[in-house]
Amino acid sequence: MKIAVTYENGNIFQHFGHTAAFKIYEAENGRLLSSQVLYTNGSGHGALAGLLAREGVNALICGGIGSGARFALAEAGIAIYGGCSGDADEAVELFLANALDYDPCARCSHHDSHHGEGHTCGNHGCH
């Protein structure tokens, strides 16, 4: 299984469509085998789902994520665990232990405005 996490400085980056990197983890039988950082090289919202699909990712852990990205990831068969924050490595360990606290309704609908300082996209809830 491959798990991707939106990634910045060891933490879960809070806006899927603007992430500069993913940390990709490979796990088997609930055990972490390896990890690597994959840079997006400026790829935006639409291209990120394809990038993860080409990497063989099965699950994504992120903060906020827009509906278009959710649709593209679903089409690629990638499960989404949104509304997460904090240390990326810890989140993956919790995921593998079936103990990750996530929000299945996490959305980010602020694509028409710039995110202000201190803004987090992960907790807009179901609308």
The proportion of the chain whose per-residue pLDDT surpasses 90, expressed as a percent, equals 74
User: Is residue 116, in this structure, part of any structural domain at all?
Assistant: no
Q: Please give the structure tokens belonging to residue 117.
A: 């300082």
Task: Output the pLDDT for position 97.
Answer: 96
Where residue 18 sits, what CATH number does that domain have? 3.30.420.130
User: Is residue 125, in this structure, part of any structural domain at all?
Assistant: no
* pTM score of the predicted model: 0.85
Q: Is the pLDDT of residue 23 over 50?
A: yes
Q: Is the pLDDT of residue 109 over 80?
A: no
Task: Output the pLDDT for position 125.
Answer: 43
pLDDT tens by residue, 77-97: 999 999 999 999 999 999 999
The Cα 5–Cα 19 span in angstroms is 10
User: Is residue 123, in this structure, part of any structural domain at all?
Assistant: no
Q: Which stretch, 2-11, 37-46, 103-112, has highest mean pLDDT?
A: 2-11
**Owning domain of residue 72:** 2-96
User: Is residue 12, in this structure, part of any structural domain at all?
Assistant: yes
Domain count, the chain: 1
Let me know: does 1 contact 26? Beta carbons within 8 Å: yes
Tell me 27's DSSP state.
E
